[in-house]
Amino acid sequence: MLKPELCAKIALMTWKVLGHEWAVDLLRSHIAQQKLHHAYLLSGPDGVGRRTLALRLAQAINCAQPPEPGTPCLTCRVCRQIEAMQQADLLVVQAGSKGGVLKVDQVRELQRSLALHPYESAYKVALLLRFEEAHVSAMNALLKMLEEPPARAILLLTADSRESLLPTVVSRCETLRLHPLPIEKLAAGLRAELGVEEQQARLLAHLSGGRPGLALRLSRDPELMKKRVAGLDELKRLLGCGLVERFQFAERTAKDSKDKEKFRDLLEVWLSFWRDVTLRAAGTQAPIANLDWQAPIDQAASALGLARAREMTQLIERSAGLLERNVNPRLIAETLMLDLPYISLELVPA
């Protein structure tokens, strides 16, 4: 068996995957030994790297000029097209938007497409993203394909957990459960392999909770970091102002259909803050996510105490759940504004 250090180098050098060395090693061996399963389920929290690993597997299966079996070149036309999710034999199926519903008609259309021979590759690869969002009828439709898999086709499913899918679907897939990396390991990888500056690497590792996919998204898209800071600034402002300003904020959350997605993202940022406050109030040694907001987090923890911090965390989680169930965003925001504590926070640079 390969040593962990060697597996890590192979994962980075051949698949350009940060972490999950054991999974890369396993999948490479399946291809090299021609023991591919007809379906794989990659499970784990959002941002852990499920989609990246699935795309690397698709590239390794269909690469036009692999340097060795199980290793994609990542530079040929097929590899580049798969990376962009636009290759002829790569079929991507997902809900229309995050938090939406993957419908049975999408799976039936996939079934018709997989019945055809690959256009230019060895296999047709179906990538079913966030399959926990699939309607139960869509899962049952997929089950029929899993029971009688099409020839020259590989199905790759991603989901937050096995438990979110029908047990009959899970039992017919080779399951790889991906876990967040230790914070320090991810920070070291961001520094060594991607050249991220040390302080920024630590921040990204903490913000992502050890999820390499999310850390990479944050590092590559400055707008995401700007939105995060803007969301924290908005929370800080609302905590220090009265009901008039708070209800004005609630009104702004319901102007158009795009506001629901923005509100969802904002609640995610606020949830990270209140979880950090809860950790600080509890006096644990667990690392907080928002390293650059340590001072306001400590202030809130001292002012509110553990019980109130937990209450706020649960309130944000409940608000996010109601939003997913299509409850009116303005009503959710108004209720949330009524329950926010009144405290003044000062931001001291970390």
Type of residue numbered 304: L
pLDDT of residue 236: 94
- Interval 47-85: pLDDT, tens: 999 999 999 999 999 999 999 989 999 999 999 999 999
pLDDT of residue 138: 97
pLDDT of residue 279: 96
Between CA 68 and CA 29 the distance in angstroms is 11
CB atoms within 10 A of CB 342: 12
Lowest-pLDDT choice from 74-83, 167-176, 189-198: 189-198
- Check if the beta carbon of residue 76 is closer than 8 Å to that of residue 61: no
Q: What pTM was computed for the model?
A: 0.82
Q: What number is the average pLDDT over the span 235-246?
A: 94
For residue 16 the two structure tokens come to 């350009």
Cα-based distances in Å from 92 to 45, 191, 197 = 20, 32, 35
Strands annotated E in 39-88: 39-43
For residue 347 the two structure tokens come to 């931001």
Type of residue numbered 63: C
Query: What three-state secondary structure class fits 348?
Result: coil
- 3-state percent breakdown (helix, strand, coil) of the chain, nearest 5: 60, 10, 35
Name, in order, each residue with C-beta under 8 angstroms of 160's C-beta and a sequence gap of 6 or more: 43, 44, 45, 46, 130, 132
Between CA 127 and CA 113 the distance in angstroms is 13
pLDDT of residue 258: 64
The residue to which tokens 């039936």 are assigned = 108
Cα-based distances in Å from 157 to 61, 128, 204, 310, 327 = 16, 5, 27, 34, 29
Angle at 219 between CA 81 and CA 292, to 5 degrees: 160
pLDDT of residue 348: 53
- Check if the beta carbon of residue 127 is closer than 8 Å to that of residue 58: yes
- Interval 1-21: pLDDT, tens: 445 554 555 455 568 888 899
pLDDT of residue 256: 58
For residue 297 the two structure tokens come to 């987090």
Partners of 42 in beta bridges: 158, 176
- Longest CA–CA separation in the chain, Å: 66
